[in-house]
Amino acid sequence: MKSDQTLSSPIGLTAQVKDDHSKLLSLLALAAGAAAMPQTSNADIIYTPSGATVSWEGSQGFLTPNLPGNVQFGFNAHKSGTFSFTSSRFITGGKRGSGYLVMKLALVTQPLLWDQIVGNLAANTSFGWASSVHNSGGFGAAYLAFEFRDSTQAGSPMRYGWLGISLANGNLSTGNDFPRLTVSGWAYDTTGAQIPMGATVAVPEPGSMALLALGALTLGAKGVRSWRRNRA
The per-residue pLDDT for range 138-160, each reduced to its tens digit, is: 999 999 999 999 999 999 999 99
Q: Which residue has the higher pLDDT, 172 or 232?
A: 172
Assigned domain for 151 exists: yes
Q: pLDDT value at position 221?
A: 53
170 assigned to some structural domain: yes
Residue 116: inside a domain, yes or no? yes
For the stretch 33-64, what's the b/e string if a residue is b when 16 or more beta carbons lie within 10 angstroms of its beta carbon? Answer: ebeeeeeeeeebbbbeeeebbbbbeeeeebeb
In a domain, 216, yes or no: no
Q: Residue 151 belongs to what domain range?
A: 45-189
Examine residue 207 and state whether it is found in any structural domain, yes or no: no
Within 8 A by CB and 6+ apart from 225, the residues are none
**Separation between Cα atoms, residue 115 and residue 111, nearest integer Å:** 12
pTM, 2 dp: 0.71
Residue 227 lies in a domain: no
Residue 204: inside a domain: no
Domain count along the chain: 1
Count of Cβ atoms closer than 10 Å to residue 69 Cβ: 18
